[in-house]
Chains A and B, each alone.
Chain A
């Protein structure tokens, strides 16, 4: 089991999610548990609660999981997925308010340093203009 916070990438497009995951891996290798998904349950552009839940499982860390999303539906579906997790996991998963590509790379870099979930989220969210 990894000692670092896990990162999940949720995009409407599987290509964007996969490409972002590759950029994260280039930065931190396998030091950070990583999950990604893109596409709706029919295989078109969109997001799927089931796929997000699987990606969270894949990136699971006892220190928690930070999710990076692209557009509205990805956020709503990620929040829904978190609520459907077992109760003891729900408060250890957060959706970051950050751009998906830059946010994922920054969050993963922070996570690789052993930072807490809150610190990982803060780092990603520093990218968002206030």
Chain B
């Protein structure tokens, strides 16, 4: 599929609006096991993306994704700025305007490795990686109803972090007490995947 300027703008706006709409929920989740600022931080970052969306989407897909990543790094604050910033910047490095599902999956796999390195974390530690990794599996499978499976997988994967014990991030200070709450970063990742799936449906 071709991700032209209009599609890029639509993609960034949809993702930003979805995160902003979920900001209060993210903050509530973070209040339970973190420092209670995830939604506030993500809202600030994605409001900055929205404010610059015309400028950001004017560049080719690679450059515009890097631009989104840099905006998040500079504006989000908290660890989620560099983590999401790294995800978008890494995707930008490996994607052209014309993309196949396979190329997106390869780029996403590379981006996940970059996020792991940035957060010194891995799958199973109650983080955003616990959503991103199963989503990669769905991208690799591809197929006709890929967008529906992306949404369902991301949502379920975020819920699967509830019984996990946090190993990284502020929630790890709580030890056993981090069990029983959904990870806010996993939830924000699921929101972003959900928005991207909506945009993909419009393109195909």
Contacts and interface: CB of A to CB of B under 8 A. Distances in A.
Interface of A: 40-42, 44-50, 71-73, 76-77, 79-80, 84
Given A49-B73, A72-B170, A79-B118, A44 B37 contact: yes
A41 to B, nearest CB: 5
Contacts of A42: 40, 44, 77
Interface residues of B, number: 22
A42 B78 CA distance: 11
B85 interface: yes
A73 B35 CA distance: 11
B64 interface: no
A77 B74 contact: no
Contact of B74 (A41, A71, A72, A73): A41
A80 B79 CA distance: 10
Contacts of B168: 72
B92 interface: no
A77 B81 contact: yes
6 contacts: A42-B40, A72-B79, A73-B77, A76-B119, A77-B78, A79-B82
B77 A46 contact: yes
A40 B74 CA distance: 10
Given A40-B44, A42-B40, A80-B118, 8 more contacts: A49-B74, A49-B81, A50-B74, A73-B79, A76-B82, A76-B83, A77-B79, A79-B118
Interface of B: 35, 37, 40-41, 44, 73-79, 81-83, 85-86, 118-119, 168-170
B74 A46 contact: no
Contacts of B75: 41
A45 B78 CA distance: 9
B25 to A, nearest CB: 19
A77 B40 contact: no
A80 B86 CA distance: 9
A46 B82 contact: no
Contacts of B44: 40-42
B31 to A, nearest CB: 13
Contact of B79 (A44, A45, A76): A76
Nearest to A78: B82
Given A42-B40, A44-B37, A76-B119, A49 B82 contact: yes
A20 B128 CA distance: 33
A73 B77 CA distance: 8
A77 B35 CA distance: 16
